[in-house]
Structure formats: C-alpha cells, structure tokens
Amino acid sequence: MSDWLRALEGTPAGHQAALALALMAAVLHALFGALQKGKHDPWASRAAIDGSYALIAAPFALFVVPWPEPHMWPIFAGAFVIHVGYKIAQAMTYDRGAYTVVYPVVRGTGPLFAVFGAGLFFGEHFTLGQWVGVAVLLSGIYGLALYNWRHLAAGRETLAPALGFAILTGLFVALYTTYDAWGIRSTADPFTFLAWFFFIDGLFMPVYMRRKLLSLRGAEARALVKRGVIGAFVAFFSFGAIMMATRLDRVGEAAVLRETSTVFAALIGWLVLGERVGPARAALMALIAAGAVIVEFGR
C-alpha cells in the first residue's frame, strides 16, 4: 500500500485521490465537530476521543508500521505542541458559542492562512481563478456564520469571546495543516507518520481531563466511552484523509476543499439537531460548494 501511494504522488491519479480524500475529510470533520459539541462537556468529549484513538493506534505504531526515522521525533514533538494548542482553543470555542455560528468561523479562517502557508513553505501558488474560488467559498462560510449569529436565540452573552477563540482555532487549523503536511512528507512511509501521530497526539487530553473522566459513573460514563470510540474512528478517517491528501497533492487545494465541511455541518445541524435551513442558508451553502468547484477547476 505504501509503495502504491508513493507512486501516486504528484500524478494526475494522485490529484484525483487527494480530491476524494479532502472531500471525505470534509464530511467526517463536520461529524467530528458535532461529536465534540454534543451533550457532553466538550473538554471531556475531546479527552474520550483522543484517549480512544491513542489506544487504538498504539499497537499499529509499535508493532505494525516501520519505526520512525530519527529525524521524525522532533517533528512529532512539534505536532504535539501545535495540536495541544488547537484542542484547547477549540474546546474554549465550543464551550462558549453555538456550533452553527462558531464552526464556520473556525473553518473559514483556517484555509485562507493555510493557502498562504502552502505558498511560503511548499512553493504552491494559486491562479487568479482559484483565488476567486477562495473568495467565493469564504464569503459563503462567513455569510453562513453571520446568518446563524443574527438568528441565534440563546447564548449571545458569550458569543464575542467564542468568536475570538474561533478565529484563534482557525489559525491553529492553518498551522497544523501546513506543519502536518510537512511532517507526512518527511518520512518514507506515510502510515508511520499517521500511526505515531495518533498515538502521540491522543495522550494529552485524557491526562489533562483525568479527574473529570474518573468522576463519571454509570450510564454517563458508558455514553462518553461510546462517543469516544466512534469519534476515534471518525478522526482516523478524517484527519488521516486530509494528511494523506496533502502528501499526494497540493496542500492549499486540499485545505480549501476540506472547508466544504461547513456545508456538511449545516446539514448535520438540520438533519440531526433539528435546526432549520431555509432558502438563505441553502444559498450560502451552495456558494461554499461553488467556491470549492472554482478552486478545483481554476487550476
């Protein structure tokens, strides 16, 4: 599998595979955000998810994939620090703001700075047509956040700090997208990076939230464990897909296409959380999708 993936890098087939992976990551990332924002404390939810994927990844990291090259250990340490910052900022965001308002802000901030990062560190440059696509996509994302904010019935008193943390989280998204793309390209076997990333990345939150987790009993504990295991598999395919996409093809394009997750988040809000969509939100969701299409075909 690893040899086959390496053969796809930089090829037209690799581009198509990266496109499919980025879109899959978009769907699953919206689901991942909803899992963390659900009825449980977002800090505890994140700890349960991280602990689950660390335990699942451990045997693969230790006994299945090739051992990381010596130069990978500082890279893993950097990824650990960046993702800790991202998780804290994300939990602070979800703790204070309505999901359908703060999620688009997070996802709208991330790709813009990721595109700049890809140009700076990987020499990638968007065409004029692709920048038009980015502008269309971001106008839809921020328009969706503004629309949801205007129609917010509760939680306005904490919305201002929530939006501040959402922007900070978006900056961390851009940082980890660029950094992880460099990390997965720095090892011969991409599955080595993925297995060790999930193993190391999952260690912080369970330790940080250990008192909260140990205090849970009965049905509440079982529900959180279930959420953690489901979230772990969603994370494997969501974060794993986008990291693999950035190895196979251009980082900036993958980052932008992933942000169609905002459309899927709105659909989750409608289908699962019982929120209304209406013609205005549907039009904004179509604008986001149109922007992604322009980015893809404006190469």
Distances (CA, A) of 230 to 48, 233, 237, 240, 290: 10, 5, 11, 15, 31
Nearest to 225 by CA among 40, 34, 73: 40
Contact criterion met (CB below 8 Å) for 295 and 133:
yes
Kindly state the greatest CA–CA separation across the chain.
Answer: 57
What is the Cα–Cα distance from 10 to 13, expressed in whole angstroms? 8
Q: Which band of pLDDT confidence, cut at 50, 70 and 90, is reported for residue 156? A: low
Contact criterion met (CB below 8 Å) for 144 and 98:
no
Q: What number is the average pLDDT over the span 120-132?
A: 86
- Tens digit of each residue's pLDDT (9 = 90 or more) over 246-295: 888 888 888 888 877 777 777 777 777 666 667 777 788 778 878 887 88
- Give the pair of three-digit tokens for residue 50: 């991280």
Q: Which band of pLDDT confidence, cut at 50, 70 and 90, is reported for residue 84? A: very high
Residue 66 pLDDT? 94
Residue 182 pLDDT? 93
Residue 1 pLDDT? 66
pLDDT above 60 for 81:
yes
Residue 299 pLDDT? 67
Q: Which band of pLDDT confidence, cut at 50, 70 and 90, is reported for residue 51? A: very high
The least confident of 18-27, 205-214, 252-261 is 252-261
pLDDT above 90 for 232:
yes
Q: What number is the average pLDDT over the span 66-84?
A: 96
What is the Cα–Cα distance from 213 to 174, expressed in whole angstroms? 30
DSSP label of 71: T
Q: Measured between alpha carbons, how far apart are the two ends of the chain, in Å?
A: 29
Mean pLDDT, the chain, integer = 84
Q: What number is the average pLDDT over the span 60-78?
A: 96
What is the Cα–Cα distance from 92 to 86, expressed in whole angstroms? 10
Residue 40 pLDDT? 65
- Tens digit of each residue's pLDDT (9 = 90 or more) over 2-16: 677 777 777 888 888
Distances (CA, A) of 166 to 98, 123, 256: 11, 28, 17
Q: How many CB atoms lie under 10 A from the CB of residue 92?
A: 19
Residue 275 pLDDT? 64
DSSP label of 272: T
Residue 105 pLDDT? 82
